[in-house]
Amino acid sequence: QAFFCLLLCIPWGSSCPPSCQCTERAGAKAVLCSSRHLEEIPKDIPRDVVFLKLDANSITRIPSNAFRHLSHLEEIDLSRNAIEKIDRAAFKGVAAGLRSLDLSSNRIRSIPKEALLALNAKLRLANNPWHCECALQEVLWEARLDPDSVQDITCHTAPREEYVGKPLLQVLDAGVNFCSVRQRTMDVAMFVTMFGWFAMVIVYVICYVRHNREDACKHGDYLRSLPSAQAHAE
């Protein structure tokens, strides 16, 4: 009976992932999973964790609701992984309390702006093979980026070759606006679509008029033939 009582008294959130080390920093729980060859985010992270280190692993993706049950989480270090994909709702549930998020030195080319713009955390996004586009530009303008790492957000690929290899901030300071380029592309596509529909309507009207004209001519020929047919009968 005492054994079962002891089990009930142990909080479920106090367990520690087998590949990690759980400790305390300034009275707050820290889970240290650095360099543990992890390929995904552990499922059994204690609910009361405040500091979470997952750096130097082989994690490739941050799925939706990956940290939702960690309501006390303030700092996440995901640097030096192999992250390529971040879902839109990856940080849902921790956006309000998160103070620091390190995604530097991964394989991130693009990221849904919804995943980061809801955060109040200071972001580190340096040393990723970024594709410079509108979403990344909006993150740079609106998110709380670590000022020490902004210059290391470099265009690995871009719509124009002259931007490749340059810091995104430098490209934007030169007057480039990737969002306006996308808008112009959408405007051109809209114009082409509207022109196509207009051309189809014109062709339809021409065919309709021509068909009616031919029917009218045939009907006129028929009417003109009636008197001659009657006279021949008499």
**SS3 of 144, please?**
coil
More confident residue, 188 or 201: 201
Least confident of 29-33, 62-66, 221-225: 221-225
Q: What mean pLDDT do residues 164-170 have?
A: 95
Residue with tokens 């002891």: 6
Question: pLDDT tens, 209-233?
Answer: 776 776 667 666 665 665 654 555 5
The per-residue pLDDT for 7 is 31
Instruction: Tell me the whole-structure pTM to 2 decimals.
Output: 0.72
Q: Is 54 exposed, middle or buried (0-12, 13-18, 19+ CB in 10 A)?
A: buried
Checking if the pLDDT of 84 tops 60, the result is yes
The per-residue pLDDT for 1 is 43
Checking if the pLDDT of 132 tops 60, the result is yes
Q: What is the DSSP letter of 20?
A: S
Q: What mean pLDDT do residues 109-117 have?
A: 92
Q: What mean pLDDT do residues 69-89 have?
A: 97
Mean pLDDT for the chain? 83
Checking if the pLDDT of 201 tops 90, the result is no
Q: What mean pLDDT do residues 125-131 have?
A: 97
How many residues are recorded in the chain?
A: 234
Q: How confident is the model at residue 180 (pLDDT cuts 50, 70, 90)?
A: confident
Angle 134-142/178-233 helices, nearest 10 degrees?
A: 140
Q: Does domain 21-176 sit in CATH 3.30.950.10? A: no
